[in-house]
Chains A and B, each alone.
Chain A
Amino acid sequence: MSATTTTAETAEPAPVHAESLARLLVAGERPPRPNALRTSLTFGWRAMLKIKHVPEQLFDVTAFPIMMVLMYTYLFGGALAGSPTQYLQYLLPGILVMSVVMITMYTGVSVNTDIEKGVFDRFRSLPIWRPSTMVGYLLGDALRYTIASIVMLAVGLLMGFRPDGGFMGVAAGVLLLLVFSFAFSWVWTMFGLLLRTEKSVMGVSMMVLFPLTFLSDIFVRPETMPGWLQAFVNNNPVTHVAAAVRGLMQGSWPSMEIAWSLGWAALLIAVFGPVTMRLYNRK
């Protein structure tokens, strides 16, 4: 019993005011039902509040990306491209894609830890557009992806990354990455609802993410790989996104790669969105 009555017992709550409560109930007018955008944004606001109250959770979008840039640039740079600075020009857009795509898995973890809590019952018993709870998570996560992108680009610029595409090219690249990550996150909302524990969500995420991010053109061009691997790498959505982001940041307009990235994004939402919502409704 005492487990539920924790710390703050010292501050005795004030008594309940039955009369003002009664007045409130009588005065309570029901406003018209909010639309889908409004409820989604409200859930996005909830995600922001969570970041505000638990800022430690930004660790994975700051320290982790910095580590990735530093490690891979200096580890592979000399061997693969002659010098780290030269390699960085090729690597940075790709490693940005890799880091952000990897961070998407935390969506699944937070959905999974949240779903067990009573507050989900309340959300699910509200007369609102059903997917807005999930969209809210993803909107909050989009902020995290943006922070991660800015941090990595800042570190990259300090290390000598000089994108030919200028500010606009870089911004367009980041925007494309955000769109893809938003779509890709629906995979994790599905697993977050499907799997029983946080650990299994992490496990499955890693199984998917490692091959998907490493078996791409992020670190090296696919030409030196065996044919069967090239077949996978060239059709890997992460390759398309990395190539598109790289192209945009280098100042070109890789329309095919952009189309492939957006196509994959649409496909991911079309498949995993409904599955997520089905699981959400059935939970």
Chain B
Amino acid sequence: MTSSNRTGPWSGPAIETAGLVKTFGDNRAVDGVDLRIEAGTVYGLLGPNGAGKTTTVRMLATLLRPDGGEAHVFGHDVVREADTVRSRVSLTGQYASVDEDLTGTENLVLLARLTGHSKKASYDRAGQLLDAFGLAEAADRQVKNYSGGMRRRIDIAASILNTPDLLFLDEPTTGLDPRSRNQVWEIVRAVVAQGTTVLLTTQYLDEADQLASRIAVIDKGRVIAEGTKGELKASVGAGAVHVRLRDAHRRPEAERLLRRALDAEVEPEPDPVALTARVGNDSGDGGAVAEKASRALAELARAGITVDNFSLGQPSLDEVFLALTGKHEHTGATSPAEQTKEATA
């Protein structure tokens, strides 16, 4: 019954797993996951539904027992030292992890009491948290009457009540409108700024892009790519060049020209006047790609092929994701929705 120590002597990673496995019957939900997450960072676990994100988080939060491999949180084994791990982490589940029958205040006081605060300190802290989260007016309403965004807030408020060293956020913005989503992001940034490590799972690429410094792409229980955002983007190529021609019948000629000028794969798109080239696998340098692209455009102009529209896109995480999971699943994923900065030629 010792009071927990905020900054222990531990200087290693916040989370380290080796060959983590969890099976449900025949389904290997988590199939050998290796992660290393540095303290004080936001780490994104990105993957589609059923990829094994939640199962991984539940094992790390001591809610599920791994069937194989090892996991350490701040150097503590999640099975053998579950209680120590619990004193350092906090979990915001995919569905609101608060009692819907209770009011906002009651929920926070309940948790404050359970973490050892005195009655007065519990009410004080609950009040301060509700104020900070903009929920003061809803303090005495049952959580079941909260909007989706408010539920998320009370949920995160409950999670940071005791200033955890590690916060698990399992799909924190699923089902939220864009405004509430931005507010959740703001909260996460404020929490991280205070030194809390965050493990975030998400199926939204822009969310990982916005918050995480490193990302693991997870699919079918395995990590299929890991790195910084930049590294992941570079792994699928520096970018994509999109060209729209005026005349459809000049396309084969334009395709040949572009392939030579860009030294890259050029694919005709379903639209009979459009072409897409993936460029820069070698260097990952955006500037070089732009230079190549402008030379290619000059070649087209010399050949008398009119270009109606041209754009050079940074690969989005969307593309990274589809490139990785598409290859993995052999689903023949269709071309992703591009988020490109258009430049009309």
Contacts and interface: CB of A to CB of B under 8 A. Distances in A.
Q: Classify chain B: how many residues form its interface, as a range.
A: 35 or more
Interface stretch (A24-32, A207-215, A233-241): A24-32
Residue in B63, B138, B189, B193 with the greatest tally of chain A CB atoms within 10 Å = B63
Contacts of A5: 147-149, 175-177
Given A30-B4, A33-B4, A53 B101 contact: yes
B183 A118 contact: no
Interface in A86-134: 117-119, 121-128
Given A13-B138, A16-B134, A50-B101, A125 B145 contact: no
A6 interface: yes
B132 A126 contact: no
A54 interface: yes
B132 A121 contact: no
Given A42-B110, A118-B93, A24 B128 contact: yes
A25 B160 contact: yes
B147 A13 contact: yes
B241 interface: no
B162 A28 contact: yes
Given A4-B175, A5-B147, A21 B132 contact: yes
Given A17-B132, A18-B186, A28-B162, A121 B115 contact: no
Contact of A7 (B98, B128, B135, B145): B145
Nearest to A42: B113
A13 B131 CA distance: 11
Interface string B102-125: 100010001101111110010001
A145 B190 CA distance: 47
B209 interface: no
Given A30-B115, A50-B101, A22 B193 contact: yes
A79 interface: no
B199 interface: no
Contacts of A42: 110, 113-114
Nearest to B151: A4
A16 B63 contact: no
Contacts of B125: 24, 28
A16 B186 contact: yes
Contacts of A6: 145, 147-148
Given A34-B115, A50-B102, A11 B163 contact: no
A46 B102 contact: yes
Nearest to B6: A30
Interface in A16-69: 16-18, 20-22, 24-26, 28, 30-35, 38-39, 42-43, 45-46, 49-50, 53-54
A158 interface: no
Interface stretch (B32-40, B83-91, B328-336): B83-91
Contact of A121 (B91, B147, B150, B160): B91
B183 A16 contact: yes
A17 B193 CA distance: 14
Contact of B117 (A18, A31, A46, A128): A31
B133 interface: yes
A82 interface: no
B108 to A, nearest CB: 12
A9 B150 CA distance: 9
Contacts of B142: 53
A11 B137 contact: yes
A111 B189 CA distance: 36
Contacts of B63: 121, 124-125
B96 interface: yes
A124 B132 CA distance: 26
A1 B162 CA distance: 31
Contacts of B163: 25, 28, 30
B158 interface: yes
Contact of B3 (A25, A32, A117): A32
19 contacts: A6-B145, A8-B141, A11-B138, A13-B153, A14-B137, A16-B187, A25-B163, A30-B3, A30-B115, A31-B116, A34-B114, A34-B115, A49-B101, A50-B102, A117-B99, A119-B97, A119-B98, A122-B159, A125-B90
Which 5 pairs of residues, A with B, have the shortest CB-CB distance? A14-B134, A28-B163, A5-B148, A31-B116, A118-B97
Interface of A: 1, 4-9, 11, 13-18, 20-22, 24-26, 28, 30-35, 38-39, 42-43, 45-46, 49-50, 53-54, 117-119, 121-128, 282
